[in-house]
Amino acid sequence: MGEQVLRVTVWNENVHETTEPEVAERYPEGIHGAIAQGLLDDHGDGIRVRTATLADPEHGLTEDVLASTDVLTWWGHKAHQQVSDEVVDRVQQHVLAGMGLVVLHSGHLSKIFRRLLGTTCNLNWRSEQDRELVWTVDPTHPIARGVPHPIVIDRQEMYGEFFDIPAPDELIFISSFTGGEVFRSGCTFRRGNGKIFYFSPGDQAFPVYHHPDVRRVIANGVAWAAPAGQRTVPTLRNRPVGWFE
């Protein structure tokens, strides 16, 4: 990337926030807003961030948007099946061409993640306000930069093994929970020219995306997933609208 500004699109289905008052209170700018702010706080002038949601035309993921996106982050939960297959096709093509993808929490069941990984991506879960400890198992990895060992999340949904994913290219974090479960909570994959990072902490029922260490991991993941070189995707003539400054 050199000195180029990192261009990130933060995608969120934005269903819980618009239908459940307690989630809207927890995330008044939406989960996407909290994630976007965390990226801006970490990267400063080195990043431009815009957001897109399920309700936007073409889910906010038009060809022009994706062509001008270096890294796409993805959060979904209730509405995976409402995501258009045409949009999933488009996102897949851009990942294979080199766009980075950061999949968060229940995005493990999203159409795009399942398609790129080729497995069910099912896991065990329990939502009883568990304490989660996120342990770094690869401290030399760029995504682990500046991350404490462990990250302590006082209240969180439990995600546990077995997690039906292919063997990750890199395992960076594992989590343990008060019930004794463990989970591969931070791992990477490569598909085509694109890099994928999955990071599990972040249920809508808890304020996890306000946690500074979780924000740091996501910011590191976005920087890691950025394309290493030029992508074979269309170039826009004009700067796209909707950027957060």
Residue 230: predicted pLDDT: 72
Q: Are 190 and 167 in contact (CB under 8 A)?
A: no
pLDDT at position 233 is: 55
Cα–Cα distance, 147 to 1 (Å, whole number)? 23
Average pLDDT by stretches of 10, the chain with 245 residues: 81 95 95 97 94 95 96 96 96 96 97 97 92 98 97 96 98 96 98 96 94 98 91 49 44
Q: How far is CA 70 from CA 6, 27, 162, 228, in A?
A: 7, 25, 32, 10
Does pTM top 0.95 for this prediction? no
Query: What is the pLDDT, as a whole number, of residue 228?
Result: 83
